[in-house]
């Protein structure tokens, strides 16, 4: 309750500062829109269904691209963790590539796939798969060897050892990588949609810029932040909370 009250006070003060700055007219309205203008853009966008359509298109893309990133990242992470040669060669390359902004892959994606959804999905996958891969590899490497030895002593081998011992023990590391991978995938998606004309939230951002409609730009930015916050709260924080409860790391069990 105390946390919710603090957050309410903080955002109320933030909104008050925004209102004051907008009314002082320090900057022209097309540079700093008023809260009323942004609210009207939000209302108009939902009423004419343009926001609903853009959200649907963007969420479909992120669902496909992020799912591919998780599947490829988990497989690559396990492969790197099981081979010293791959860890020293391919692993080092992946760590280096992670510092490359995902938008740098877009020119290559456009050349290979044209101005299509495949190009955006390519950027989304490359933007997030490295985080998942590195986290999965770290989870397998940092796992105490006694877990595998204990599993074998209890009769678990092969796939049973992996699914019942090794994979559950690496979940805390994997969830951290999944969360970071989601953030990178979401940013990569919006950046990709902004580069060329395509339905989605990124395209609405560019439309607002082209029309000098800063109210629409801020409204879409708010939507992007809210969607990211909701996904983080509903999926990743729930996963982290359940893992903490299962492993006895939650405050209530300590």
The answer to the question of residue 161 being in a domain is yes
Q: Find out whether 48 and 192 touch, Cβ atoms under 8 Å.
A: no
Distance CA 105, CA 97 (A): 11
Cα 247 from Cα 216, distance rounded (Å):
45
- Contact between residue 72 and residue 134 where contact means Cβ atoms under 8 Å apart: no
Residue 221 has pLDDT above 60, yes or no: yes
For residue 35, tell me if it sits in a domain.
Answer: no
The count of domains in the chain is 1
| Residue 230 domain flag | yes
- How many CA atoms lie less than 13 Å away from 76 in the CB half-sphere? 21
Indicate the angle between helix axes 35-47 and 214-231, nearest 10 degrees: 70
- Asked if the model's pLDDT at residue 144 lies above 70, the reply is no
| Six-digit token string for 133 | 């891969």
- What does the block give as tokens for 9? 């006070």
* 189, pLDDT greater than 80: yes
In-domain check, residue 149? yes
Contacts 24+ apart (CB under 8 A), 146-152: none
pTM of the predicted model as reported, rounded to 2 decimal places: 0.79
The pLDDT tens digits for 15-37 are 888 888 877 777 777 777 888 88
220 has a pLDDT exceeding 50: yes
Distance CA 76, CA 137 (A): 8
Asked, for residue 59, whether it belongs to a domain, the answer is yes
**Residues 72-89: tens digit of each pLDDT:** 888 888 777 777 777 767
Residue 123 lies in domain = 40-246
Q: What is the mean pLDDT of the chain?
A: 79
Is residue 89 within 8 A of residue 142, CB to CB? The reply is no
- Mean pLDDT lowest among 67-76, 108-117, 191-200, 207-216: 191-200
In a domain, 22, yes or no: no
- pLDDT one-digit tens code per residue, 114-131: 777 888 889 888 888 888
> Is 44 inside any structural domain?
yes
Instruction: Return all residues near 199 (Cβ < 8 A) that are at least 6 apart.
Output: 53, 54, 57
For 56, residues 6+ apart whose C-beta sits below 8 A from its C-beta are none
Residue 200 has pLDDT above 50, yes or no: yes
Q: Which CATH number fits the domain that encloses residue 132?
A: 1.10.3720.10
In a domain, 111, yes or no: yes
d(CA 69, CA 27): 42
Confidence tier at 163 by pLDDT (50, 70, 90)? low
- Residue 143 region by backbone torsions, left for phi larger than 0, else alpha for psi between -120 and 50, else beta: beta
Number of Cβ within 10 Å of residue 136's Cβ equals 26
Determine the Cα–Cα distance for residues 16 and 23; give it in Å rounded to an integer. Answer: 11
């Amino acid at each position: 309750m105390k946390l919710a009250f603090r957050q309410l006070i903080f955002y109320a003060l933030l909104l008050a500062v925004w209102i004051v700055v907008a009314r002082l007219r320090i900057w022209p309205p097309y540079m700093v829109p008023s809260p009323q203008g942004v609210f009207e853009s939000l209302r108009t966008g939902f009423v004419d269904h343009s926001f609903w359509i853009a959200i649907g298109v963007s969420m479909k893309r992120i669902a496909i691209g992020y799912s591919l990133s998780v599947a490829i990242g988990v497989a690559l992470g396990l492969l790197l963790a099981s081979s010293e040669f791959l860890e020293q060669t391919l692993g080092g390359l992946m760590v280096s590539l992670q510092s490359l902004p995902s938008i740098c892959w877009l020119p290559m994606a456009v050349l290979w796939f044209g101005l299509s959804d495949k190009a955006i999905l390519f950027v989304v996958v490359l933007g997030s798969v490295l985080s998942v891969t590195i986290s999965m590899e770290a989870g397998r490497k940092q796992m105490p060897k006694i877990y595998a030895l204990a599993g074998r002593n209890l009769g678990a081998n092969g796939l049973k050892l992996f699914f019942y011992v090794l994979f559950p023990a690496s979940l805390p590391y994997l969830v951290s990588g999944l969360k970071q991978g989601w953030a990178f995938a979401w940013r990569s998606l919006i950046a990709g949609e902004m580069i060329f004309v395509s339905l989605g939230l990124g395209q609405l951002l560019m439309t607002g810029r082209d029309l000098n409609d800063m109210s629409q730009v801020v409204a879409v930015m708010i939507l992007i932040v809210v969607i990211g916050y909701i996904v983080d709260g509903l999926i990743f924080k729930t996963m982290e909370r359940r893992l903490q409860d299962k492993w006895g790391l939650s405050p209530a069990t300590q």
